Amino acid sequence: MAVDPNRISEELVPEYIRNLAVYQAGKPIDELAREKGLTKISKLASNENPLGPSPFAIKEMTGGLWELHRYPDMHAYALKQSLADLYDLKKENIILGNGSEGIMAYIARAFLQPGSEVLTSEKTFIGFYILARSVGATLKTVPLNSEYRFDVEALAKAITDKTKVIYIANPNNPTGTYISKKEFDYLMEYVPSNVLVILDEAYFEFAKDKGDYPDSMEYRYDNVITLRTFSKAYGLSGIRVGYGFGHEDLIANLTKVKLPFEPNLIAQLGAKGALFDQPHLERTKLINHHGYVRLTTYLKEKGFNPIPSVTNFVTIKLGSPEASNEMFNLLLNEGVIIRPLKANEMPEYVRISIGTTEEMDHFFEAMEKILPQYLDKYGNLL
């Protein structure tokens, strides 16, 4: 008997799942090498740490390879204890996941259901949009303000008695901007105690030295959960480990829906090792700062207008989706991978991660090569 796959999909899969778009990651290096036959490739697309992981993290992970036949500590005692000591918390205030997105998935599973109202901004992390929609939640967004930052006044006005979760990426991805302490204080005056605020601080290490940055650990509201990650400043994207801080009752309920043995053994060991290597983190931040100054100076000299960023990436508006695609493809031909932002509902923008000195040199060389052709076609949009 012939089976109609479309009918099966309609009968088994909820409409809100069928309508989801698949998350698009930055183009992999190996894929570009196969397509273009290139040997020199600089990936400036995924906001990774170009220095790689700490030697301490590598040592810890390598030592754990002989234990791969054993399940990891389901409670991740050692890693939680390291985080508790660093941030003056109890282990009961900490949850770990497969990247910070893994913890977002726990939140969606525990607190959202079809019809729940989730409030956030336009032009923010696309992964959260997907997770909210994957459980049938109603996604309500407000525009960013004129400075590409979360508009806290608009968010406050948009809160209703149906609002269940508010998501704030601070700093924001993909704009690199942040809300200040004054703005965060303003917003929290309007947030009811029964509304959960997710503060996604994936780029915390790059922003924390800003004097007016609202480090959520200085507030510790009962209805706020902080999400951070080892994927960015700590250089551990490949092992996928994130962590969250919150009230112990909130964490206890998230733990009920958490997958067991996550993060895995190697992820737990690598993250624990990375926390001990403060010099590696400081070197990462220093190289990032120098790269940011070089990149933004160059872009301004060439007539572009980069959005001021406190992260390890810079976003620029190119005037049209066609212009964005053109720059992306021309740079690909030169072995440089940047990130077009169509999937983030910003089709006229591109995002450039900050790499090593050598990778940034490659980017500048490639730009010098492609700019005459690009500007001849799209220079009027600058």
pLDDT in tens, 3-12: 566 666 677 7
**Cα angle vertex 237, ends 75, 205, to 5°?**
85
What percentage of residues in the chain have a pLDDT greater than 90? 85
Peptide bond into 53 cis (omega under 30): no
What is the structure's pLDDT at 179?
98
358 by Cβ neighbours in 10 Å (0-12 / 13-18 / 19+) ranks as exposed
What is the structure's pLDDT at 12?
77
Q: Are residues 323 and 347 in the same domain?
A: yes
What is the structure's pLDDT at 38?
79
Mean pLDDT score of the chain, rounded to an integer?
A: 93
Statement: residue 138 has pLDDT above 60: yes
Per-residue pLDDT, averaged over 150-162, amounts to 97
Q: Are residues 156 and 166 in the same domain?
A: yes
The CATH number that applies at residue 25 is: 3.90.1150.10
| More confident: 87 or 25 | 87
Per-residue pLDDT, averaged over 110-130, amounts to 94
Q: Are residues 242 and 174 in the same domain?
A: yes
Say if residues 308 and 322 touch (Cβ distance below 8 Å). Answer: no
Residue 20: band (very low, low, confident or very high) from pLDDT cuts 50, 70, 90: low
The CATH number that applies at residue 196 is: 3.40.640.10
Residue 108 lies in a domain: yes
What is the structure's pLDDT at 16?
73
Statement: residue 369 has pLDDT above 90: yes
Q: Are residues 133 and 243 in the same domain?
A: yes
Q: Are residues 231 and 117 in the same domain?
A: yes
Q: Are residues 269 and 300 in the same domain?
A: no
Q: What is the pLDDT of residues 210-266, one digit of tens each?
A: 999 999 999 889 999 999 999 999 999 999 999 999 999 999 999 999 999 999 999
What is the structure's pLDDT at 3?
55
Residue 2 lies in a domain: no
Domain's final residue, options 277, 308, 328: 277
Q: What is the pLDDT of residues 275-310, one digit of tens each?
A: 999 999 999 999 999 999 999 999 999 999 999 999
Statement: residue 348 has pLDDT above 60: yes
DSSP 85-145: HHHT--GGGEEEESHHHHHHHHHHHHH--TT-EEEEESSS-HHHHHHHHHTTPEEEEE---
What is the structure's pLDDT at 7?
64
Say if residues 232 and 274 touch (Cβ distance below 8 Å). Answer: no
Residue 3 lies in a domain: no
What is the structure's pLDDT at 35?
76
Range of the domain at 147: 55-277
Q: Are residues 235 and 362 in the same domain?
A: no
Residue 25: band (very low, low, confident or very high) from pLDDT cuts 50, 70, 90: low
Domain's final residue, options 277, 304, 324: 277
Q: Are residues 229 and 296 in the same domain?
A: no
What is the structure's pLDDT at 13?
74
CB atoms inside a 10 Å sphere around CB 308: 15
Q: Are residues 128 and 240 in the same domain?
A: yes
The sign of the dihedral angle between the CA atoms of 373, 377, 380, 382 is negative
Statement: residue 73 has pLDDT above 90: yes
Residue 158 lies in a domain: yes
Q: Are residues 65 and 35 in the same domain?
A: no
Domain count, the chain: 2
Residue 1 lies in a domain: no
What is the structure's pLDDT at 344?
87
Beta bridge partners, 353, equal 313
What is the structure's pLDDT at 37?
80
Residue 4 lies in a domain: no
Q: Are residues 199 and 167 in the same domain?
A: yes
Q: Which residue has the tokens 């799942």?
A: 17
Whole-angstrom distance, CA of residue 334 vs CA of residue 38: 8
Q: Are residues 26 and 168 in the same domain?
A: no
Q: Quick one: tokens of 296?
A: 């933004």
Distances (CA, A) of 259 to 96, 186, 231, 353: 10, 36, 20, 32
Residue 24: band (very low, low, confident or very high) from pLDDT cuts 50, 70, 90: low
Say if residues 330 and 370 touch (Cβ distance below 8 Å). Answer: yes
Phi then psi for residue 326, to 5 deg, are -65, -45
Domain's final residue, options 225, 253, 277: 277
Structural element, H or E, at residue 243 = strand 242-245
Q: What is the pLDDT of residues 313-328, one digit of tens each?
A: 999 999 999 999 999 9
**Which residues, other chains included, contact 256 with Cβ-Cβ below 8 Å and sequence gap of 6+?**
110
